[in-house]
Structure 1
Amino acid sequence: MVAVLHNPSSKRRRALLVVVGGPQYRAGSHREFVLLARAVADSGYPVLRFDYRGMGDSEGDYTGFDNIQDDIRAAVDSLQDHLPNVEEVVIWGLCDAATAAAFYAPGDPRVKGLALANPWVRSEEGEAKAFLKHYYIKRILSLGFWKKVLRGELNIAKSVSSLQSNVKAAAGAEQENSVPVSSAPGLAVRLENSLGDFNGQVLLILSGNDLTAAEFKDATKASRGFRRLLGQSRFKRFDLDASDHTFSRHEWLDLTIGRTISWLDEW
């Protein structure tokens, strides 16, 4: 596996491990992981970002985000091999990498913190509910939608068919020719259980203009146990209401990086 180590030559006991979401590689969309790693290293924390098997420049076959536990452990081992003074590791992950990091963390006492950006809890039913709640309502209330209707530019039949499909999926009905999402069943429950088993600090970074983040928010609101868990003092939440999934504007990414560094300094 190929990795890049950002070493500020500090003697800090804590380091950051960046696990990328798929399909991505260690640079990230619009080089977000490069910019994150450099900024965190400039603040004094060593950072390792790597391509797990089958992604980017690493060898092997990609078998799914929930099968990268050995890859994460190898990265933690390598980080400590190169920097023996590092005793605490914080994992930063986006999307399915955030969920994979949460699955991994309870089994490795070296992991003391998790920074989880827009965690992936996708299910067909959950996606449909999020689409209905966060996409269709916003679209119907937008001026652009009604301008398209008046100009005759909207494919009414196609839109109605899409809406009906999402309504059925949200109700849990089976659809003909539907393609199941890999590893989807129980992701929210598995994530809740993993975070419950993990005793470290957790930073949740949630975008406001992102279906993945919206589905995570809906899943946590629907679970009393999840709500109670996230109410613990070790959980911190940072919302970027205007941001998209990958923090594609400089101001969004800068805010995300700044919050990550301040959170690392808080404990």
Structure 2
Amino acid sequence: MRRLIAFDCAGETLAGTLDEAGGTTGLLIVSGGSEIRIGAHRGMALMAQAIAAAGHPVMRFDRRGIGDSTGHDRGFESSADDIAAALTAFRAKMPQLQRVIAFGNCDAASALALHAPAGLDGLVLANPWVIEAAADDALPPAAAIRARYAERLRDPRAWWRLLRGGVDLGKLARGLRKAAAPPPAAPQGLAARVASGIAAATCPITVLMARRDNTAIAFAEAWAGDAFAPTRERATLYECETDSHSFHRAQDRAWLLERLSAALG
């Protein structure tokens, strides 16, 4: 059974959707960006329906200032109170819950890494966001550019497009300059804070990556560095052979559902 709920958060009212089931392990879905709880391509709603059908309660919610919730949207880095309030409401609405696993994609994954409240029993982090691009930089992250160029160098059609003038040479030059910049010796800024947050978590962690997605490619570069070494030793990493950031294709959704079901147990 699916029903709408409302709960308090720092003086505001958050809207949520609860897919009820009788199981004792539940899934708390945290939305990324300024996305409402239904998710891209209705992905979160479809996921919740499938997980609940398998016997696990699922809760989705809009953080402050998003969708049906009141308040001001202050971004994922200020969502600690929202996540904690949602977890409290989930346990109150489903008192049989013994375990709660939280899932987030993109900056929702980073929000969970930074702000996972006590009382969560596992984190599933998909394509964590660690990119801090300049405001005037519309290019993908350097790691993604390098990966794309490496792929295109192996594609004869890309060479043919270049020879025929079908490539923006200015954009190509800017991309080459950015790709040539050496990666930092250690993660900085957001990447460093995400690494610290994951390392400090006391619950099991699953990391999911859409292997050819720009956000995942940038995270993979940071993940390979020393700052994430403690996390690599205890987190479980899975890669899906897709460029879909939201896992929206049927085969990608099936893969994601399989990974979430494994985390739920």
TM bucket, shorter chain:
0.7 to 0.9
- Does the 8 A contact of 1:96 with 1:120 survive in 2? yes
CA distance in 2, matches of 1:96, 1:167: 26
Q: Post-superposition shift, 1:206? A: 0.6
Change (3 A) 1:80 1:129: same
Percent identity among equivalent residues?
A: 31
Of 99, 111, 116, the match for 2:120: 111
Change (3 A) 1:131 1:67: same
Amino acid at match of 2:104: G
What residue is the counterpart of 1:258 in the other structure?
258
Of 38, 45, 51, the match for 2:56: 45
- Does the 8 A contact of 2:26 with 2:264 survive in 1? no
What residue is the counterpart of 2:152 in the other structure?
139
Which is further off, 152-161 or 239-248?
152-161
Task: Name stretches of at least 5 consecutive residues in structure 2 with no aligned partner.
Answer: 1-13, 135-139
Of 80, 87, 94, the match for 1:83: 94
Q: Tell me the TM-score normalised to structure 2 length.
A: 0.85
Of 177, 180, 203, the match for 1:167: 180
Amino acid at match of 2:76: F
- Does the 8 A contact of 1:123 with 1:185 survive in 2? no
Q: Post-superposition shift, 1:162? A: 3.5
Question: Alignment length, in residue pairs?
Answer: 245
Q: Post-superposition shift, 1:135? A: 1.9
Please give the per-residue CA displacement for 1:95-118, whole angstroms capped at 9, x wherever unaligned: 00001012122xx33111001011
Of 198, 201, 205, the match for 1:202: 205
The 3-state SS of whatever aligns with 1:86 is coil
1:62-101 residue pairs with structure 2 within 5 A? Answer: 62-101=73-112
CA distance in 2, matches of 1:206, 1:24: 19
What residue is the counterpart of 2:229 in the other structure?
227
Please give the per-residue CA displacement for 1:223-266, whole angstroms capped at 9, x wherever unaligned: 2x41242222xx2222102242111211111111112102211x
The 3-state SS of whatever aligns with 1:251 is helix
Deviation >6 Å, runs of 4+: none
Q: RMSD in angstroms over aligned alpha carbons?
A: 2.0
CA distance in 1, matches of 2:221, 2:165: 34
- Does the 8 A contact of 2:146 with 2:179 survive in 1? no
Change (3 A) 1:25 1:143: farther
Change (3 A) 1:149 1:115: same
Which is further off, 188-197 or 150-159?
150-159
CA distance in 1, matches of 2:126, 2:221: 15
Change (3 A) 1:171 1:88: closer
Higher helix share: 1
Q: Tell me the TM-score normalised to structure 1 length.
A: 0.85
Change (3 A) 1:15 1:209: same
Amino acid at match of 2:208: I
Change (3 A) 1:213 1:158: closer
CA distance in 2, matches of 1:131, 1:109: 34
CA distance in 2, matches of 1:190, 1:218: 15
The 3-state SS of whatever aligns with 1:56 is coil
Task: Name stretches of at least 5 consecutive residues in structure 1 with no aligned partner.
Answer: 173-183
